Amino acid sequence: MKYLALTAAASALATAGFAIGAARSALAEFDIQEATIEKGEVQLTYRGAVHWGVPNADKEGTAGGADGVSVLDQEEAPVRQSHEFEGQYGVTDWWLLSFTLGTEQPDGEDFGVSSAEFETQFQFVKRQGDGIALAIQGGYEKAINHGDEQNADAIGFGPIVEIASGKLLVTLDPVFTDQVGPNRDTQGLGFEYGWRAEYDLAKHWGIGVEMFGEIDDLTNAGSLNDQNHSLGPTLFYNAGSDEGEDKEVKMGDDDDKVAGPPEMEFYLNVGLQFGLTDATSDTALKFQGELDF
């Protein structure tokens, strides 16, 4: 039954990743990293989003354009879609490695890989139940260009902070970025952020609020309407194994027993994001599915 559940869950993640797929390459993914690291744990994650009105330039006539010129000719941009596939591995209780593939399918073109990211994370403060957890993350993203498109590689670094109190968990994920390589088109550091407030409603269910934002170049940030900021509700589901928790309690004092295979956990969240500026998509539907074992 465990193998059947694993197969079904993996199939569901893959199907969701390609079923959401649509027209053009997408905006940045809605991703909030967690601070907790467990030695030997493998985590497979899919993240995807569909955007409507990216951006709706004709509302103001100049959204996203340089020198007051609109970047779009039509009333509303076509729906844009994005998806990422990530694998993480806990090397120790404080060190984690991850690899992420970003993929896209522009209008009239074949499905292809757009980026590859290598990332590492170090946890300095762990929490048990309520309290604060702190980690530091850093990574390098290699742009995979096709045809005339020439995007710059990028590096990113920043803290991850978790604050837990009872049924409430707040996660802060600010990241400073910088473009590198010959295709660089910014003069200074960029800044991306995500934060989440999640409240446990029931044993496996939670609701929350998430906010994301991005400033490409802090030295030339422009007005607020030129930046990407969005906010919206999210529904969470965590199908953790209660049976595995019971076994751990019952067998914890028996050192002679051989440990069995790690318990599989399936986690997902689905949410809506509403654009707060002219440069942000009007609405976005986001999905994240995760397998831990």
Burial 15-52, CB ≥16 within 10 A → b, else e? ebbeebbebbbbbebbbbbbbbbeeebebbbbbbbbbb
196 in Cβ contact with 210 (< 8 Å):
yes
265-275 and 283-292: which strand pairing? antiparallel
Distance CA(185)–CA(97), nearest Å, equals: 29
Below-70 pLDDT ranges, the chain: 1-28, 54-79, 105-111, 146-149, 241-262
Distance CA(113)–CA(259), nearest Å, equals: 39
Q: What is the pLDDT of residue 103?
A: 82
Q: What is the pLDDT of residue 156?
A: 95
Q: What is the pLDDT of residue 72?
A: 42
Tens of pLDDT, residue by residue over 32-72, are 999 999 999 999 999 988 888 866 443 444 444 444 434 44
Quote the number of domains for the chain.
1
Burial environment of residue 177 by CB neighbours within 10 A (0 to 12, 13 to 18, 19 or more): buried
- pTM, 2 dp: 0.78
Q: What is the pLDDT of residue 262?
A: 62
DSSP 8-state assignment for residue 92: S
Q: What is the pLDDT of residue 150?
A: 79
Q: Which domain holds residue 148?
A: 2-292
105-to-21, 56, 79, 147 alpha-carbon distances in Å: 8, 21, 12, 14
CATH number of 74's domain? 2.40.160.40
